[in-house]
Amino acid sequence: MIHRLTVIGTGYLGATHAACMAELGYEVLGLDADERKISLLAAGEVPFYEPGLEPVLRRGLASGRLRFTTSYEEVARFGDVHFVCVGTPQKAGEYAADLRYVDAAFDALAAVIDRPCLVVGKSTVPVGTAARLAERLPPEAVLAWNPEFLREGFAVQDTLRPDRIVVGVTEGPAEAILRRVYSAMTDAGTPFIVTDYATSELVKVAANAFLATKISFINAMAEVCEAAHADVTKLSEALSHDDRIGGKFLGPGLGFGGGCLPKDIRAFMARAGELGADQALTFLREVDEINIRRRIRMVELARILLGGSFVGRTVGVLGAAFKPNSDDIRDSPALDVAVTIREQGGKVTVYDPRAMGNARRAQPDLDYGDSALDAVRDAHVVLLLTEWAEFREMDPAEIGEVVAERNIVDGRNALDPERWRAAGWHYRALGRP
């Protein structure tokens, strides 16, 4: 029976996986090279915002089933199964994934393994990586690949009640061990899909490529709707009733960002090129470009409302995180728009319910408000760029009392246009007349 698990890398994926595995009753030891992060987690504090994770973390610590360390030697002594959950960012100046953290984690672990164990990769990697890494492990270790499918804002739910579990294996014992590790999920009906290494690696990037394509498709339709004076929200609603299409990820607006979709589709293109299959994914380049064009169009709409220039004008920006229920600002469309407007001469004040600290550190030249009202005070135009519930529920009359001019651009199609227009606002949105 498997009882002891380790999790190498305690970022977003690793911290969530460690806490949730302890919640399932396993003894778990989490490792990270960042001593500050380890200290925070050991004290029951999550270094990022993820709804519902902190109580799970604290229950694991209080039970004694969850601990954290910076020592690979301790990890090797402790664990029967080692989950590698380190990041794979985009290489600077390239599309390809940067695998140095994955390579370093495998090398450090391989150097201290001295008994039979299973090593499980969960990082999002280019196809072919698992086979290469398997050769770097000692004979005592068997490798499996088990991609993650977490959604920020729903990570605890997605870990404890996943919609599928995918494992890439080459040896029977690895499959059997992972079936035992995930028995609580499979007993509840979660599909358990067994593949080879390459297929398991492709599942994650293929899923992200499909989701990105769906988002960019409806945003391409928004471009057409703007030219034709049509309403992309009604178009999306009509499409969503087709069972073959569905409504998920068909919300028109400012597009996708974050630490997964943008870098994953670029790394997918880069890897396809290395394999000689670059033509298969050329469409993803246009998916990426459509996504970036929405940010440019958002800036244009705001500039039009201000008569053609941001110089000397005040802009209130609501949202900094790339999506609601997160403090993640990586490749955030909201911050990208805010920075672009500042560079074009606007005085920009930003507010986000959770991402203020990260935004201030990343973009210290922007101004920041302590509330939505504070951010839009004396603004000549208000931009809604992250669809937090508190922004969707704003009272247009109350907001109208503090702005300099009642101009608003709804970058997420999250507001009721008629309600805002009835309150005297000049309302514009992406893809709508």
Q: Which residues are catalytic?
A: 260
Bridge partners, residue 368, by sequence: 350
Rounded Cα distance between 404 and 380, Å, is 5
Rounded Cα distance between 254 and 219, Å, is 8
For residues 410 and 387, is the Cβ–Cβ distance under 8 A?
no
For residues 386 and 320, is the Cβ–Cβ distance under 8 A?
yes
Rounded Cα distance between 428 and 433, Å, is 7
- Output the CA torsion 110→122→17→203 (10° steps): -170
Q: Which two tokens stand for residue 166?
A: 């995918």
Q: Which two tokens stand for residue 272?
A: 């396809």
Rounded Cα distance between 381 and 179, Å, is 55
Rounded Cα distance between 258 and 157, Å, is 19
Rounded Cα distance between 338 and 62, Å, is 42
For residues 225 and 172, is the Cβ–Cβ distance under 8 A?
no
Sheet with strand 165-168: strands edge to edge: 66-69, 27-31, 4-8, 81-84, 117-121, 141-145, 165-168, 192-195
3-state helix, strand, coil in the chain (%, to 5): 45, 15, 40
For residues 191 and 165, is the Cβ–Cβ distance under 8 A?
yes
**What count of other Cβ atoms lies within 10 Å of the Cβ of residue 37?**
22
